[in-house]
Structure 1
Amino acid sequence: MSNAKACDELVKLFAAWQKEPSASFARGFGKFKSAFEQLTAIRCWGPEDRIRKTGLREQWEETLAVVGQSVSTVKVEVELWHRRDPAQRSAAEAHVEQIVTSSGGRVLDRARIGEIGYHALLAELPIQQVQSLLTNGA
């Protein structure tokens, strides 16, 4: 989904279909019914989805189990959506950097490779922040 409103509308449409699969949909939306028949759930994509398959959670859990609080920081690569507009790209990077620094971390390096649409930051986070993320979520 390209925007949150469209995602919310699709979630609402799915919920309506779950309550009454035979209900009529507005013109142009009827084809969703056949798609909905193949699904068990629809939800908006969120922070948990961004790290679920990366192995980061497991790596952090292992780090905490092995070394506990004996290390003070951990490094993490934060991949951002690559934006074509340089101003939007800079604003997104500044926003993530502000979040990192406000948590007591710091940005160590940055990569912007326009030819392949890659934009990322290498950050260092306090181990306490990692524990909080694991316990409370993103």
Structure 2
Amino acid sequence: MVTKSFIKLSVIGLILSGSLSGCSTSQPAEIDSKLTAWQGAEIETLIQTWGLPTGEQQVNDLTYAEWNTRDIKNKPSMRVGVGGFGGNFFGSIGTTLFGGREEVHCRVQVGYNQEGRVVTTNWTGDPEACDAAIPERQS
């Protein structure tokens, strides 16, 4: 038999788990802006700040440098449990909703011209991973 308190707990659990799944703080527009700020910089300055790229390719008059990052992060989780007792008997049921581990990645590419100036930028991947991978440009 399902009790009213169990239903209330279930509803509260679903509400909380829905709010936990939307906790991403990095917005793609913010990352675009952060990366675009590097346009016009010298590639050597970028490499000094970011570290060596994981790869480079020449396409027509531009060279594209690429940085790839991978990380494992824990997904938000929530434990739900129901317990009860009566007489000499005690019992409980519990489960973990969502959670686990997730692999996240970020790929950032910058294209620079023959003079060594960054002229184009783009990124793909998890917004939080990319936000962490792209340093702020200091003026």
TM range (shorter): under 0.3
Give the helix-richer structure, 1 or 2.
1
Give TM-score, length-normalised by structure 1.
0.24
Give TM-score, length-normalised by structure 2.
0.24
Q: Relative contact order (alpha carbons < 8 A, sep ≥ 6): 1 or 2 greater? A: 2
Give 1 or 2 for the bigger CA radius of gyration. 2
